[in-house]
Amino acid sequence: MNGYHKGIVTTGCFIILSLSVFAQQKLLSIKEALTLAESSQPQMKAYDQQSQAASYNVKIARNSIMPELTAGYQAGYATYNNITGMSYPGLILPISGPPSSGNVYDPVAGTALTAIVKWNPLTFGQRQAAIEKAAMQFKLAGSSYNDVLFRQQYLVISTYLDAVYLQKLLQSYQANIDRTRAGLEQSLVLAQQGLRPGIDTTQFQSVLAQTQTDLLTAQRQYHAQIEELLRLTALTCTPDNIVLSDSTLIGLQPAGVTATDTVITHPIFQYYQAKRDVSEAALKEVQRSWRPKLDLWANAYARGSGVAADGSVHSQDGWSLTRKNYGAGIQLSFPVLQFSQVNLQKKQYRSLLKADEAQLDQVKLNLQTQKETAQFNYNQSLQITKQSLIQLQAAHYAFDGLKLSYESGLIDFTRLIQGQYELLKAETGEAGAFIQVWRSLLELAVANGNLHIFTEKLK
């Protein structure tokens, strides 16, 4: 009875331990990896913030219609020579005043309090050009984010597929180790019975060491691939805790694939199109820079001076605001001699615009060619997969027959191992063929700029 209770406790501990280990594992699908790459990857957060920062340029350009109001106070100690004294430029509008009759270098106190308004309600299209340029720059930032995200998600899927392939290789290598061990045990029995030479046992041991080395190499590659997947998805767990839930891709063929997307929806095309639009908006801004500028201004200030109207000095009056002034006006200015400079800038920006248009045409041509190539490769990959299944089935039949022939003494070790190698080659070839189909589908989705072509085929 005590032993029975101990058995229950031991089994219970084993179950709890198994559940604890399972709870630590992270099931990761391709769709979840894509979501993490967008929401958790620091690089994508950086591009998102850059896009948001670019959106404020539009608001800043529009906000330039608001008038500027600047207030300031100054106090100084300057020479007597000018009745207004000296003031720091920028806030105090200059006024005329009687100079002193001679050079008097005695210092005199002076103060000023001012509020100046400047408004540009009419810009002759210059403000609108700046707004349009800022809007195009925001569009470019958004297109850049979409393009980087598209590339990031492609890397995630590609890395995931490599990991699935390596995981399948691990299974094939392990099965090959089991076959080799079974052959080794069989050779020992046959050698003891005198049906096989002892050298077969040594050869099986050598092959077993090689198969185990192949497994260790594949494990290292698989671990590195999972590490890269963790980096792309910003997951903090270890590779040992990751379980690929989409590992059944090997053995499945995506069917009914139709790709009808036009190149204008491709993220990379939209990026270069936005780049062209920025150049076009910049050219418009330059073209409108050689236009008049209209400024409305108003100013009110009070001042104090230690020099009286009769020329006498009263230092105490310099610290008080004894004189009040105000004024308003309008100014229309035109950059007459900047025509040559603006004309050169227009030629420069026209060349940049033509360069962007040519680059956009090249991107369009590249994408069209990429779509045709991807569709052809996908169709070919489907045909290769069918042949790999036939090859794998034949390799299984051949190995089973060779194993029976070896046990019967009809063939030697070399022929058996060759058949075993052909079976391993067929297994890895089948895995590679299925992964290549999914890779070809991924390339087709990339060429069309729409990863949903790939993800909608996932179970």
The span from the CA of 275 to the CA of 150, in Å, is 18
pLDDT tens across 257-305, in order? Answer: 777 778 999 999 999 999 999 999 999 999 999 899 888 888 887 877 7
Encode pLDDT of 166-208 as tens digits: 999 999 999 999 999 998 888 888 777 776 777 888 899 999 9
pTM (2 decimals)? 0.81
Buried b (16+ CB within 10 A) or exposed e, 402-432: bbeebbeeebebeebbebbebbbebbbbbbb
Type of residue numbered 6: K
On whether the CB atoms of residues 299 and 117 are closer than 8 A, the answer is yes
- How confident is the model over 432-448, as a mean pLDDT? 95
Report, as an integer, the average pLDDT of 26-45: 91
Considering only residues 430 and 95, tell me which one the structure prediction assigns the higher pLDDT. 430
Superfamily name with CATH number, domain 26-65+124-292+339-455 = Outer membrane efflux proteins (OEP) (1.20.1600.10)
Query: 147-161, 192-206, 224-238, 284-298: which has the minimum mean pLDDT?
Result: 192-206
Instruction: Report the relative pairing of strands 68-79 and 107-119 from DSSP bridges.
Output: antiparallel
Domain ranges within the chain, ordered by starting residue: 26-65+124-292+339-455, 67-119+294-333
- Which tokens sit at 25? 């594992």
Least confident of 13-17, 52-56, 256-260, 358-362: 13-17
Angle (CA) 34-35-36 rounded to 5° is 90
Distance of CA 207 to the CA centre of its chain: 46
